[in-house]
Amino acid sequence: MTLSVIMPNYNHAKYLSESLGAITSQSCCATEILFIDDASTDNSIEVIKHFPQITLLQNPKNLGPIETMNRGIQESNSEYIAFCSADDIILPGFFEKAITFLNNHPEIGLCSGKTCHFKNTASDQLIPQRMPLGNKPRSFDAQTLPKIFKKTTYFIHTTCAIFRRKHLLEFGGLNPKLLSLSDWYLNCQIALKYGAAYLPHYFAAFRLHDESYSKKLKASPKQEEMFHALMEEIKETGPEWEKLVKKTGLLAHAGVRMVLFLAKHPEYRSYFPRAFLKKCQFHWSFLRKGKM
C-alpha cells in the first residue's frame, strides 16, 4: 500500500502547523506528502521547514487550487491519493480506516467518511455534521449507487475521502472550468462507474472562515460561468451520462445555488425529473428535523 497526500496552499501559513501536524500524526503514515505552494506571498515556505518529511513543490505563478491539485496527481507516485486542504484538518484514524477498507474491497473506487466543521480558530470545538447514511459501514457498487443518490443527500466529501490514483487519471483529473465543483463532479464520475464506500467515522473537519476558496466564489460572478460550464461538460460527456445525471437527480447534490440556477434557465428544465424534486423535498425535511 502506498499513499500520496496532496496539499495545495496559497497564503494559509497561519493554518499550516495544525493541518500538517494532523497529517504527520496519522496512525498510518503517508508514503509521500506533496505540499504544493501556489506562489504564496506569506511565510508558508518558512512554516513547512519544520516538517522535514514533506516534499515541497512550488508553482512559478499562481495557478489556483484546481490546477495545483492536478499537478499533485501527476507528480504523485502512489496507489492511493488523499487531498488535504491547507486550512482544514484531518482527524485521527482517517488514513488507516479508509485504506484498510479499500485494500479489502479492490472493486470499490473510493472510500469516504463523516465530517465536522469548526469556527475559524476553534478547532478544539468540532461540530459534527449529520450524514444521511447512518452509523453502519456502507458499500455501494455502480449498479446500486444511482438508487442511493436518488434518495439521499450527498455523502462524498473530498477532504475526507481516499481515491485510487488510476481512477483520477482515467477521468483526466479535475476540470479547471468547474472551479469549486470540479472535485464534486470528479467524485461523482468515479463513484458512478466504480462504486463508493462510506464509513461512519469522522475523517475531517472543515474550517469556517471568509478566506476559503468556495466562500469567495459564492460572491463572484464566476459562479454563473461555473454552472454553465458544468452543464456543457455533462452534455459533452455523452447521452448515457446525461441520462444518468437526470435519472438520479444528481445536480441536487451540487447545492442550493445550483438548484436555483437550473430553475431560472428553461433550457435545463429537463434536469427536474421526479427523482430530483423528491430529493429536494428530502433535503427540506432533513433540514427541518435538525439533522444536518
Number of Cβ within 10 Å of residue 230's Cβ equals: 23
> Could you tell me which residue, 94 or 274, shows the higher pLDDT?
94
Whether the pLDDT of residue 280 is over 80: the answer is no
Query: How many other β-carbons are positioned within 10 Å of the β-carbon of residue 130?
Result: 13
Instruction: Give the per-residue pLDDT at 162.
Output: 98
Q: How do residues 174-208 score in pLDDT, each as one tens digit? A: 999 999 999 999 999 999 999 999 999 999 998 88
pLDDT, tens digit (0-9, with 9 covering 90-100), for 4-54: 999 999 999 999 999 999 999 999 999 999 999 999 999 999 999 899 999
Evaluate if pTM is beyond 0.75.
Answer: yes
CA–CA dist 14, 36 (Å, integer)? 16
Element (H, E) at 112: strand 110-119
Distance (Å, rounded) from C-alpha 118 to C-alpha 116? 7
Confidence category of residue 273, pLDDT binned at 50, 70, 90? low
Determine what percent of the chain is predicted with pLDDT higher than 70. 88
pLDDT at 126: 77
Cell 464566476 belongs to residue = 222
Calculate the CA dihedral of residues 214, 182, 4, 2 and round it to 10 degrees.
Answer: 140
213 against 258, higher pLDDT? 258
Closest CA to 94 of 158, 150, 9: 158
Residue 85 vs residue 277, higher pLDDT: 85
| Residue 56 CB coordination number (10 Å) | 15
CB 120 within 8 A of CB 207: yes
What homologous superfamily does CATH list for 3-220?
Spore Coat Polysaccharide Biosynthesis Protein SpsA; Chain A (3.90.550.10)
Per-residue pLDDT tens digits for 54-76: 999 999 999 999 999 999 999 99
Residues 6+ apart with CB under 8 A from 271: 245, 246, 251, 262
Query: If pLDDT is split at 50, 70 and 90, which confidence band does 1 have?
Result: confident
- Please state, in angstroms and rounded to a whole number, the distance separating the CA atoms of residues 187 and 241: 14
Place of cell 462504486: 195
pLDDT at 216 over 70: no
- Residue 212 clears pLDDT 50, i.e. is over it: yes
> pLDDT above 90 covers what percent of the chain?
66
